[in-house]
A and B are shown apart, each in its own frame.
Chain A
């Protein structure tokens, strides 16, 4: 007998052999998600953006706001200048980014093991937790968000979601379930040495968000 059959057999023996009603199980599972406001925190601010910003700042994520995508390269330049970084940066090859005027900077499409800065697009922001969502894709290598020391994400305000459940509901609706879906909630950190917090353990030590668009 295969291990699979042994395990499932042991489980069924332990649970008792009641006939399985898949629809009833699904209904029970759905009921466990009812009234989500009863089991999640209220937003930290009066609007999605303010709530997101409050949480993000609390985590050490920095934030800049611009009116439209065309202003993104200038915002990136400001950030690089603030940290005394050069014009080179690894950039996600998304048309929303590659189509911008990068003449003042030197973006490239690969990410080196010791890459100082990377720029990508956040798929969503989550107001509840100050999280940013990225999905793996042909134009979006996962390592872009993990090898560099500085990770800059561009987030369009209209992509902001209130709660984690709102993201779960969208997952798979837009272009199927991605191979990697990652919620990034603050810069990489560790408390493994005596509980003292140190940033930049393996992933980026700096997380910067450029929020695009006007408050509605």
Chain B
């Protein structure tokens, strides 16, 4: 696949991220706020758990009848005047978008944030085709200026502090901002992008929902950039994953209540917009053409295995905001398009397990992600499923395989285990000074950053047996 794949060296990227104190500040500011606001929004919505169960059921229903809903959507969108395209892979999807842009003789395209667009590598495909692209979401605008990829699915530029954004705007805006507080910088971006919005030939958006019974696509934004992206240009292209379907507008609303609260702690985004076909006769504005590219890219494959549950994901980002690993290393360390727990499940689907084996492993299995997931995806279970595959396919390092295998062989022989553990703790005690061991052979990872408590010297089983025989009876 041509989607950007994780580079080798997850651990090195993670270590570099941890060593960057500015990054940690930036991550804590955004995820900390998101966590607090979500908690308040959920507390204020006493029906949240019931809504969550219903949200899961809605997604499961659509997934179980995905072929039906895709055909229904295609029929209704076509009837509304949109042209529906199908792309089995990321490369096919990009080729379709580039072809439409060329047919429209596009010099400039505006794009409103879409993770699917990132997933299929659309920014690169447009660049390769020589088409100028203006990202219109403020965060996407920031990372376009920085030449970076998103580090979060809701706040793509959350890894950048305001000082770093100021540097980018000072160089990239004409004229540069007059001051570098967030409000002035946002105004500067507003002016900078206003001309792009109005002069673009094609506007590209994603979709949060595809509404089967109306044929409409739905975008949610807080900035209003989606409407400015999709209205003025002559051509509007939507790229959307096939799992985005919902039966009707009311089903979309049921999911929206969950999505927005989970993502930002709001109740609805400022703009919830349904796009149903191109400009109608007599309409005051709107695109002449609307194209919808339905992208599979591994999704139909997920339907038949345990990762099917991942197709429920509505891309709220709550799992990463509540993930202890994400909050230490940020999004870029994951190396894929999707970071955090949901990314650790999806990246192996998109890029192959061999190239992303670390992601499902680099998780403490604490379960907080599943606890906050608005559609009840059992993320730790899915991560463990990848670990199982990785083990069966012998992708895990041989040292670990050998170690676990040896340990398990001993643990399956209680008498040998008892002997080995007794001898082991006494050996360990020799390494200790006072109550602690500060350097452990074979587990330097532990003692690199923390001490290890010295074992008591006799195991529970030894002590218990001695106590029992002291009482005069066998245990």
A39-58 CB mask vs B (1 if < 8 Å, else 0) is 11110000000000001000
**Given the contacts A15-B66, A137-B284, A40 and B29 also touching, CB distance less than 8 Å:** no
Q: Does B136 contact A (CB under 8 A)?
A: yes
Q: Which residue of A lies closest to B215 (CB)?
A: A177
Residues A156-208 near B (CB distance < 8 A) = 164-165, 168-169, 171-172, 177-196, 198, 200-204
Q: How far is the CA of A42 from the CA of B51 in the complex (A)?
A: 13
Residue-wise, chain B 45-56 has the 8 Å CB interface mask toward A (1 for contact) of 111001100100
Residue in B54, B86, B222, B251 with the greatest tally of chain A CB atoms within 10 Å: B222
Known: A7-B296, A179-B275, A202-B224. A184 touches B270 (CB 8 A): yes
Taking the nearest CB of chain A, how far is it from the CB of B116, in angstroms? 15
Contacting pair A177 B142 (CB below 8 A): no
A131 partner residues in chain B, CB cutoff 8 A? 268, 272
B72 → chain A closest CB, angstroms? 9
Verify A7–B272 contact, CB threshold 8 A: no
A202 and B64 in contact, given A181-B276, A182-B271 (Cβ under 8 angstroms): no
**A74 at the B interface (CB under 8 A):** no
A81 interface contact, C-beta 8 A? no
A-contact 0/1 string along B211-229, CB 8 Å cutoff: 0001010000011110110
Q: Which of A27-35, A63-71, A99-107 contacts B (4 or more CB under 8 A)?
A: A27-35
Chain B residues near A12 (CB, 8 Å)?
A: 67
B7 within 8 A of A: no
**Cβ of B139 < 8 Å from any Cβ of A?**
yes
Query: Interface size (B, Cβ < 8 Å)?
Result: 99
Q: When the two chains form their complex, are residues A191 and B264 in contact, meaning their CB atoms are under 8 A apart?
A: yes
Q: Which A residues touch B224, using CB under 8 A?
A: 146, 188, 201-204
Distance between Cα atoms of A178 and B54 in the complex (Å): 28
* Number of A residues, CB within 8 Å of B: 74
A-contact 0/1 string along B86-100, CB 8 Å cutoff: 111000100000000
Does chain A have a CB within 8 A of B273? yes
Given contacts A138-B283, A142-B231, contact A201 B186 (CB under 8 A): yes
The CA of A138 and the CA of B280, in the complex, are separated in Å by 8
Residues of A within 8 Å of B186, CB to CB, are 190, 193, 198, 200-201
A-contact 0/1 string along B273-314, CB 8 Å cutoff: 111111110111110000000101000110110000000000
What per-residue 1/0 map shows which CB atoms of A106-145 lie under 8 Å from chain B? 0000000110000000000000010100001111111101
A202 to B190, Cβ gap below 8 A? Answer: yes
CA distance A195 to B225 in the complex (A): 18
- Of the candidates B67, B247, B269, the one whose C-beta lies within 8 Å of that of A29 is B247
B155 at the interface (CB under 8 A from A): yes
Selected contact of A11 from candidates B26, B29, B300, CB within 8 Å: B300
Closest to B92 in A: A3
**Partner among A113, A141, A165, A171 whose Cβ is within 8 Å of the Cβ of B285:** A141
B33 on interface, CB distance cutoff 8 Å? yes
Residues in B with CB closer than 8 Å to A192 are 137-139, 142, 155-157
B79 (CB) vs chain A CBs: closest residue:
A177
Convert B195-223 into 0s and 1s, putting 1 for each residue whose CB lies closer than 8 angstroms to a CB of A. 10110000000000000001010000011
A42 to B137, CA, bound (A): 32
Give bound CA distance, A6 to B300, whole Å.
Answer: 10
| Binary A-proximity of B248-265 (CB < 8 A = 1, otherwise 0) | 111101101100000010
Question: What's the minimum C-beta distance from A106 to chain B, rounded to whole angstroms?
Answer: 20
* B389 adjacent to chain A (CB < 8 Å): no
Interface membership of B458, Cβ < 8 A? no
A129 and B220 alpha carbons, distance in the complex (Å): 15
Task: Across the interface, name the chain B residue whose C-beta is closest to A197.
Answer: B182
How far is B89's CA from A3's CA once the two chains are assembled, in angstroms? 9
Instruction: Say whether B270 contacts A189, CB under 8 Å.
Output: yes
In the complex, chain B residues whose CB is within 8 Å of the CB of A193: 138, 142, 157, 162, 165, 182, 185-186
A41 touches B45 (CB 8 A): yes
Point out the residues of chain A lying under 8 angstroms from B70, CB to CB.
7-8, 11
Are A198 and B182 interface neighbours, CB within 8 A? yes
B161 at the interface (CB under 8 A from A): yes
Chain B hits for A7, CB < 8 A? 70, 86, 88, 242, 294, 296, 300
Does A82 lie at the interface of the complex (its beta carbon under 8 Å from any beta carbon of B)?
no
Inter-chain CA distance A182–B230, complex, in Å, is 13
Q: Which residues of A contact B231 (CB under 8 A)?
A: 142-143, 146, 180
Contact of B68 among A4, A22, A142, A187 (CB under 8 A): A22
Does A85 interact with chain B (Cβ within 8 Å)?
A: no
B198 partner residues in chain A, CB cutoff 8 A: 113
Q: Are A203 and B250 in contact (CB under 8 A)?
A: no
Q: Which residues of the partner chain B approach A37 to less than 8 Å between Cβ atoms?
A: 47
Question: Using Cβ atoms and an 8 Å threshold, which residues of chain A touch B254?
Answer: 32-33, 39-40
List the 9 closest pairs (A to B, CB-CB), nearest first: A203-B224, A141-B284, A14-B303, A201-B223, A10-B300, A14-B304, A138-B282, A168-B250, A192-B139
20 more contacts with CB within 8 A, not counting A29-B247, A192-B139, are A8-B71, A10-B296, A10-B303, A15-B67, A20-B65, A32-B247, A33-B248, A33-B250, A33-B251, A39-B257, A41-B44, A137-B283, A178-B274, A180-B276, A193-B182, A193-B185, A194-B182, A201-B224, A202-B225, A203-B228
A-B contact pairs, 8 of them (CB 8 A): A32-B61, A113-B195, A145-B227, A181-B216, A191-B222, A192-B142, A200-B186, A203-B225
Residues of chain B having any CB pair with chain A under 8 Å: 26, 29-30, 33-34, 44-47, 50-51, 54, 57-58, 61, 64-68, 70-71, 80, 85-88, 92, 136-139, 142, 155-158, 161-162, 165, 182-183, 185-187, 189-190, 193-195, 197-198, 214, 216, 222-225, 227-228, 231-232, 242, 247-251, 253-254, 256-257, 264, 266-280, 282-286, 294, 296, 300-301, 303-304
